[in-house]
Amino acid sequence: MAPVPADHRAGVNRVEMTSRIPRTLRTERLLVRAWSAADAAALHPVLLANVTHLGPWIPARVSTPAPVPQLAERLAGYDADFTTGRAFRYALLTPDGAQVLGEVDLFPRAAAGRVPLADADHVELGYWLDAAETGKGLATEAARALFAVAATLPGMAHVDIRCDIANGASAAVPQRLGFHLATVEGELQVWRKALAGPAVV
């Protein structure tokens, strides 16, 4: 579908935009599904096992292994954000859905930072994996799937991946997917890949 003309951006319906983003995807080796509060019990031991692995790279509000009831509230908030188009966070699961392997995300953005999808002109792609699942190409597989979703959204100029300059494993993902290093903001690298079609800003 062709990008929405710039003079029509303000009229893009948020529900229509959000409906373009599926709640469930399947890749060759992964079930990629929007988080729900019911996932808290499965996520909790993964966060407990990965405090040292994830702590330096992702916000504490995401990586902290809170008690299961609090974690369920956190995941319910993710689900609400998905529904309203503020952020799209997915659990990375084994194909049968039995095991949490990590997370992959799409965050709508504009020049000012993260915004609701209807106000965005590009998206940010994020991911993390259980340390036991790294080195298998799973983050790349999941990121490729969400890049394809981003490519269906009208009015999006590009996809960014932001990672700490010291996190070489994370930076390897955008390089494998053909992103280029657009800028460095302090300790943060911003990798970028244009989406097909004319940019709408």
Question: From residue 199, how far is each of 89, 154, 158, 192 by CA, in Å?
Answer: 25, 10, 8, 14
| The pLDDT value given to residue 12 | 52
User: Among 141, 156, 133, 179, which Cα is nearest to 20's?
Assistant: 156
Residue 93 in contact with residue 100, Cβ under 8 Å? yes
Domain ranges of the chain: 28-194
C-alpha span between 67 and 169 (Å, rounded): 29
> What average pLDDT does the chain have?
89
* pLDDT of 10 over the 80 cut: no
Class of the CATH-defined domain 28-194: alpha beta
pTM comes to 0.88
